[in-house]
A and B are shown apart, each in its own frame.
Chain A
Amino acid sequence: MQSPLRLERRLTQPKWLNWGVPLLSLLGALILGGIVLLATGKNPFSVYARIIERGFASTDAFSRTLISATPFAFTGLAASVAFRMGLINIGGEGQLYLGAIGAAFAGIAFQDQPTAVIIATMIIFGMLFGGAWAAIVGILKAKFSTNEIITSLMLNYVAAIFLDYLIFNSNSYWRDPKSYGFPTGKRLVENAYWYDISIGPIAIPFGFVVAVFVAVIVWFLYSRTRFGYEVGVIASSPSAARYAGIRARWKIITVMALSGALAGLGGASDVGDFRHVLDAKGVQISGYGYTGIVVAALARLNPLSAIFVAVFIGGLSNAGYALQGPDFPSGLVGTLQGLILFTAVAGEILTRYRIKRQNTIADGAIV
């Protein structure tokens, strides 16, 4: 039996694919999500309408969406940076935790300094901690060619246990000694809070501004510098890179560390912008790192698009929090995100192949 459709490899990539494929993917995800909703007795139109209402439709909702979008922007950038070299870093989750730990350390240790100094050190320590955690994966990959997918994921679990240890199972530097019953982290002084920047009625978190700034830097780094060019060569042909004298091993470690530093910055922003405390449970509950992969895939690994995709995904997840209840069960947002990733992945086929109808006359001629 022959399928009536056939895939034919594209020789050129038309321009419309750059925006057409993500849009088609989103549409596909909405349709598939609608089927899941219908199958479980929910009305997809009212669910989607409420997501738009609570995620995007008012300045208030949009301000909250930007808050949700900030960590996704960082983890999306982190995933893009690594995936563009073919390094599948799925450890963004753990790298973000380490970034939060580093930033909380700086926020507590430098609390007597001026605000600018505190914020700067929080950013630096967040990046250092996240980057160092990711560099472990990079070093193992470069030295022993260990599969980075599994090691980076395993370190997520280790990081989560470490985070719980710092707050719940020890009297660490991060834990508030005055917290009885349910242990919490030390609260930062108000001087250490990151600013919001207001444009009219919309409040933009400082972390989001940093994310946009970082996205531009990453875009420049990857498309306008020798470093980015070499990363591209390694991704498309490791052997060509070797002949050209590009030191792939160093690039693996550097790119992993860079990716981890970006995810760590997400953790720093979680502490500085929103929670003002190392919240061991809160930072783990949202799956920021895994969602970053969705963001990167939908943005087709473009750092500038990643910001826009992060806002979209942030709206989805903000609406998810706001609406959580019997009509809007937990897990729905994750399911929709997963479907978006599916369709984005499946949509990639349109960029590589054309779908053609099987030429029946030619088949008949062979018979």
Chain B
Amino acid sequence: MNNNILVIILASGVFYGTPLFFAALGELFTERSGVLNLGVEGMMLMGGVSAVWASQHIPGTSWFVVLCSIFIGAFAGALVAALHAFLCVTLRTNQTVAGLSITIFAGALGLSSYFANVWDVASKTVQHPIRILNPGGLADTPIVGPIFFHQTILTYLSWVLCVLSVVYLFRTRTGLKLRSVGESPQTADAVGINVAKYRYIHTILGGALAGIGGTYYSLTIVPQWVDGVTKGAGWIAIALVIFGFWRPDLTLLGAYLFGALQSLGLTLKARNIEINGSILDAMPFIMTVVVLVIVSGGWAHKRLQTPAALGIAFEREER
């Protein structure tokens, strides 16, 4: 039963959806604070390359190395995000162009590739990939086991994060303040909330999560360094936030849907099912466009709840 094709598709949906969720959750926090971050792809790649470097250079037991690599991947993403926050919050530049410049600067043809070259990470194998973890033998239960419990530590961590972020956003005072900063920074400022601080923190947090998403690509999915390994996942993550109506729980579902779409080609090929591979490869990208069209028009648009101040710099002097 565990070999059923539907089970495999769902299991790979969770497997390939996990990095999308990390990146999308990060973008969600950033956008909730009113900052649009189009640099996700660049942050993921910087996280990914730094994590590979860490995994090749840190001595110690496998577990220790893996934890350090994840941490360093997150740290690298956070550093790049701090740059974005500086451009958008302090310098008040156009957030769209700032994010694009982050992706061009750090992306597949930029700094991540440069570091990979200088550190010579691509030629060496990854000794300590993030492996599948079977918590308490749960992976052996029928159907649910392979789908949800034949995964890595990062997938289990992502569920904890999903619950925590729903509580944080909708059940805590800080979460309420965060949402108010994204909806109306003028009002938030008037009641004494430090708008700049909230935007900095959540942009950097978003970058750290994107960095973990990139780490998942370079240490779990591949696991090796290839320039531009995320192949547009950062952009799909940005679309997922819209698709998830800026809510972590719906974003998680969306991530698994797109994860399944991304891996469909591999799954079917492994089963020797004849189908045009190019169309399957293009599916996630085409579906992103289709989903955007659906949520942009008609009934969904009214319920989208886009943060009202998204993409707009806050200028205190000009209230």
Contacts and interface: CB of A to CB of B under 8 A. Distances in A.
Interface string B90-123: 0111101110111111111111111111100000
A7 interface: yes
A335 B285 contact: no
A331 B117 contact: yes
Interface residues of B, number: 51
Nearest to A154: B285
Interface stretch (B9-17, B151-159, B235-243): B235-243
A341 B231 CA distance: 22
B249 interface: no
Given A144-B293, A162-B278, A331 B114 contact: yes
Contacts, number: 151
A334 B109 contact: yes
B167 interface: no
A158 B286 contact: yes
Given A331-B110, A348-B93, A150 B292 contact: yes
B239 A150 contact: yes
Interface in A327-345: 329-335, 337-339, 341-342, 345
B93 A346 contact: yes
Interface in B267-309: 277-278, 281-282, 285-286, 288-289, 292-293, 296-297, 301
| Size bin of chain A's contact surface | 35 or more
B114 A147 contact: no
Interface string B69-105: 0000000000000010001000111101110111111
A9 B105 contact: no
A345 B97 contact: yes
Contacts of B285: 154-155, 157-158, 161
Interface string A134-167: 0000001001111101110111011001101100
B106 A338 contact: yes
28 contacts: A9-B317, A36-B114, A40-B118, A140-B289, A144-B296, A149-B38, A150-B239, A154-B232, A154-B285, A155-B289, A157-B282, A158-B282, A290-B107, A291-B104, A297-B97, A297-B101, A330-B113, A330-B117, A330-B227, A331-B227, A334-B113, A335-B111, A338-B110, A339-B105, A341-B105, A345-B98, A345-B101, A348-B94
What 5 A-B pairs have minimum CB-CB distances, sorted nearest first?
A: A338-B105, A331-B113, A331-B114, A329-B117, A334-B109
Interface of A: 7, 9, 36, 40-41, 88, 90, 140, 143-147, 149-151, 153-155, 157-158, 161-162, 164-165, 169-170, 287, 290-291, 293-294, 297, 329-335, 337-339, 341-342, 345-346, 348-349, 353
